[in-house]
Structure 1
Amino acid sequence: MTTQADSGVRQRTRRAILDAAAAAWARDWSTSLGDIADRAEVSRSTLHRYFPERQALVDALLIDAQDVLDRLWVDATAASASPIESIENIMMAIAGEADRIVFLFTDPGRFAGNPNWRTDDSDDDMVDLVRAAQGDGTVDPDVDAEFAVGVVYSLVYVAAEAAASGRMPRHKAAELAVRTFRYGLSPRP
């Protein structure tokens, strides 16, 4: 019989393994399960009890990373009062998940054919947010909305990569991504 305490320990152990895999694979896709176990501070046999093979861990992390980003997106938009605030809050939230962003998007073909790879309508949702921000004058209406979405995601990826590599703290990288989206790189007059 599994107790609630056992369940909590299992969830924490699973989370530690997923976090360790995200951090490791964001830096080196060839990182072994043994190295991930060491990073998660669990034995290799414990890791294999949760994830019997590499593909099982890849699939679990793929699902987890997408779920985390989806949840952050929903929370970020719920906490926003305007389209531009939604865009900025989304950028801040998802750039903070640097390891998962880099894991998911470093190699666009990495998950081709994997049934756990979801394509969703977040691009359409972001286009709608950009168009709404253009409508209220907070984003230049002369900029193609899909181009602006590409800029948003590019900045999020660059921020995530800077944070995952240790070049910049996560919060600073996310703030810089938002600032760059809002004001570009040129000095303000």
Structure 2
Amino acid sequence: MLVAFAIVTSGIGQAESGASLSGVRERTRRAIVDTAVAVWSRDWNASLGDVATGAQVSRSTLHRYFPDRRSLVLAAREHALQLLAEAAGAAVQGCATAVEELAALLRAIVEVGDAVIYLYADPTRFGDAVAEDQDDSADLREVVVRAAEDGAIDASAGPDWVVSTLYAIGYSAAEAINHGILPRNRAGDVAVQTFLRGLGRDDG
């Protein structure tokens, strides 16, 4: 599921010092939510103090932006969704075929693996916020159908199976990076190879 997330800014025409201060605040906020996604993708029980330490801010600074854990959890979720949507959108630019799109999307999932794990390790942790998501799997199923029509993949089990497999492999690759099983610069290649060719070997 990819959900676009827009940040609406205000105060156009403000004084330069005000713009600079706003930029500092936005960078600080970004550092906090970036760190929250990274930390909580590895340890959901990590404290706000752990996040503050990782973001190199004080606990009081963190609380000025996010008064409690829940507010940061939801802000980090929106940020992770944005990262995933942006990565997916950029990935398919310039792809000439449907199977190239699938491979590029899989690499994008792996590239923003922390966001993927944070979002989908246990979606129930976000409560009612999950219901607001828009399921974009229909677009991905359409790419799968085109790839099958081109003869590039076997979709005889149905497009939904292929989509689920792509997501599962991408998630597994992201976890492999987190656990030190695969280096990030190799995980994307392994994921694509597994998706397109499986794990069997033809020694004939």
TM-score normalised by L of structure 2: 0.85
Question: Given the alignment, which residue of 82, 91, 98 partners 1:83?
Answer: 98
Q: Structure 2 matches for 1:151-170, cutoff 5 A?
A: 151-170=165-184
- Residues 140-149 or 176-185, more deviating: 140-149
1:92, distance to aligned residue in structure 2 (A) = 0.6
Corresponding residue for 1:52?
A: 67
Could you say what secondary structure the match of 1:152 adopts?
Answer: helix
> Do the aligned partners of 2:88 and 2:108 also contact (CA within 8 Å) in 1?
yes
Code of the aligned partner of 1:138: A
The alignment status of 1:142 with 2:163, answered yes or no, reads: no
- Residues 11-20 or 52-61, more deviating: 11-20
Root-mean-square deviation (Å):
1.7
Counting matched residue pairs gives 188
- Residues 155-164 or 10-19, more deviating: 10-19
Give distance in 2, aligned partners of 1:109 and 1:188. Answer: 42
Corresponding residue for 2:134?
A: 120
1:71, distance to aligned residue in structure 2 (A) = 1.5
1:64, distance to aligned residue in structure 2 (A) = 0.8
Gaps of 5+ in 2: 1-14
1:168, distance to aligned residue in structure 2 (A) = 2.1
1:83, distance to aligned residue in structure 2 (A) = 0.7
Corresponding residue for 1:68?
A: 83
Code of the aligned partner of 2:183: P
Gaps of 5+ in 1: none
- Determine what percentage of the aligned residue pairs are the same residue: 40
Give distance in 2, aligned partners of 1:35 and 1:14. Answer: 15
